[in-house]
Amino acid sequence: MDKFRIQGGGPLEGQVRISGAKNAALPLLCASLLTEKSLVLENVPSLRDISTTAHLLAQMGVEVSGNAGLIELKASRVHDCVAPYDLVKTMRASILVLGPLVARFGEARVSLPGGCAIGSRPVDLHLKGLQLMGAKISIEHGDIHARAEKLKGARIFMDLVSVTGTENLMMAATLAQGVTVIENAAREPEVVDLAEALMKMGAHIEGAGTDVITIQGVDSLEGCRHAIMPDRIETGTFLVAVAATGGKVLLTHTKAGLLDAVIDKLKEAGAVLSLGSDTIEIVQDGRPKAVNIRTAPYPAFPTDMQAQFMAMNTVAQGSALITETIFENRFMHVQELRRLGARIDIEGNTAMVHGCAQLQGATLMATDLRASASLLMAALVASGESIIERIYHIDRGYEDIEHKFAGLGAKIERIPG
Ligand code: UD1
């Protein structure tokens, strides 16, 4: 298993290009199942989760081709509506094939995702929504088996705001008979990106980006060409890294408007930000100030940025509270940050972080995707050498992260293992 060796200490300086968003690309790849025509996606990040999804779709019979950020998918000869356990267990977002498969082919068998490092993460809302649309659902030998001759439009109230739940049901509804209304829908920008692509494919969708999405089903969808939106979490991760280490960095190919809550917190921490049409420049002089964080669905502060702000707070001036409201077990990075000398107390879903002047390098273990990013940031700011093990977690969601940080002057290298 590969590791990172990091020599911490210096500020970050330079320019970095932000990749396309993993969480927008994954549902869009699955949307290819909705049409026999070709779907061309641009700005696709090169990541393990993307190749896993491409592999899953190819196993079903989807023709997948392309390189260098462009992927073409054609689902004209799908022969297997199955997402097996060995793929679903490595990537929970595989559940996103469920809605499109039932809607177009009338049947799907998708391994039921188990719990994961950050919480139990059930998919009951995906299933309840499909049942309301007339699908018959049973759990057989660990698989979700869903059948429906033709899905029917329905009014679906989501008990909790679920991003992939909203995406799955929105995709299914594009080919359902009649009108579907999703209430308490997720407002995340990735839902909007998906809706925009589906509309280019001929879907009738209103309200994406609000908490009520209305979809008028159509008989079939066309192909389209769509450029994936910038990754707001990768953007935020680089911004917080600069806030923690100090320095001056220009981020390009991004969109500040996707990160209002994150940018507000960075300003509160003392960073100076200049926002362009597709750039963000950040300057941080000296130690940041500790900031309180409370995660919640978009447009509030994203759970996927919580661990990185925790890492920043460990070296900040003052103490701050971090409250995680989305996932029940998303403080796995705390134990590892403590190994660097961080002072963090946890009570339930709240962590009190007391900033200290200097962390010290140590050997750390990555536990999940965003937690790994926080460890990398903390290692960049700690004195001396750190080793981060199990970085396959980070490769799931950050494109070329070591070269991007090295381009900003960080001393980081991959040790193949
Ligand atoms: C997506 C993102 C992930 C992010 C999360 C929250 C993708 C591929 N992943 O994950 O990076 O951290 O949104 O912003 O886009 N829940 C249920 N029942 C369900 C579905 C969800 O109880 O059927 C709960 C979850 O356990 C969690 C909360 O709802 O507590 C939100 O989860 P959800 O928005 O569904 O997360 P994902 O879509 O899996």
Distance 176 CA to ligand 1 centre (A): 24
Distance 265 CA to ligand 1 centre (A): 23
Question: Measuring from atom 1 of ligand 1, which residue has the nearest CA?
Answer: 163
Choice among 81, 116, 224, 356 that is catalytic? 116
Q: How many residues appear in the chain? A: 417
Distance 412 CA to ligand 1 centre (A): 32
Q: Give yes or no: 356 in active site.
A: no
As a whole number, mean pLDDT of residues 144-158 equals: 97
Q: What is the distance between the alpha carbons of residues 152 and 149, in angstroms, rounded to a whole number?
A: 10
Residue 230: is the preceding peptide bond cis (ω within 30°)? no
**pLDDT of 402 higher than 80:** yes
**Strand pairing report for 384-389 and 363-365:** parallel
**pLDDT of 114 higher than 80:** no
For residue 78, give both structure tokens.
């799908």
Distance 286 CA to ligand 1 centre (A): 36
Q: What is the distance between the alpha carbons of residues 298 and 73, in angstroms, rounded to a whole number?
A: 30
For residue 184, give both structure tokens.
């308490």
User: Which comes out higher in pLDDT, residue 370 or 275?
Assistant: 275
Strands (E), 189-278: 204-206, 212-216, 224-227, 247-252, 272-275
- At 21-70, the pLDDT tens digits run 999 999 999 999 999 999 999 999 999 999 999 999 999 999 999 987 99
Per-residue pLDDT at 8: 95
Rounded to the nearest 5°, which phi and psi values hold at 209? 100, -10
Confidence label for 115 from pLDDT (cuts 50, 70 and 90) = low
Angle at 72 between CA 68 and CA 77, to 5 degrees: 145
Q: What is the distance between the alpha carbons of residues 363 and 12, in angstroms, rounded to a whole number?
A: 22
- Looking at residue 8, its amino acid is G
Q: What is the distance between the alpha carbons of residues 317 and 270, in angstroms, rounded to a whole number?
A: 11
* Ligand 1 atom with minimal separation from the 188 CA: 14
Angle at 350 between CA 347 and CA 352, to 5 degrees: 85
With a pLDDT cut of 70, the percent of the chain lying above it is 99
**Strand pairing report for 12-17 and 247-252:** parallel
**pLDDT of 349 higher than 70:** yes
Helix axes 232-245, 260-268, angle to 10 degrees: 0
Q: What is the distance between the alpha carbons of residues 88 and 83, in angstroms, rounded to a whole number?
A: 7
The DSSP element (H or E) to which 239 belongs, if any, is helix 232-245
Distance 281 CA to ligand 1 centre (A): 30
Per-residue pLDDT at 120: 73
Q: Which of 393, 396, 330, 391 is nearest to 2 (CA)?
A: 391
Question: Measuring from atom 7 of ligand 1, which residue has the nearest CA?
Answer: 23
Residue list, ligand 1 pocket, CB within 6 Å: 23, 26, 92-93, 119, 121-126, 160, 162-165, 190, 303-304, 326-327
For residue 162, give both structure tokens.
């679920």
Ligand 1 pocket mutation pick from 326, 329, 349, 370 by most atoms within 8 angstroms of CB: 326
pTM for the structure as a whole: 0.97
Rounded to the nearest 5°, which phi and psi values hold at 352? -100, 120
Ligand 1 pocket mutation pick from 56, 120, 160, 294 by most atoms within 8 angstroms of CB: 160
Dihedral angle of Cα 258, 237, 241, 4, to the nearest 10 degrees:
-160
With a pLDDT cut of 90, the percent of the chain lying above it is 91
User: Which comes out higher in pLDDT, residue 41 or 119?
Assistant: 41
What sign has the CA pseudo-torsion 259, 398, 327, 228? positive
Residue 299: is the preceding peptide bond cis (ω within 30°)? yes
Question: Measuring from atom 24 of ligand 1, which residue has the nearest CA?
Answer: 121
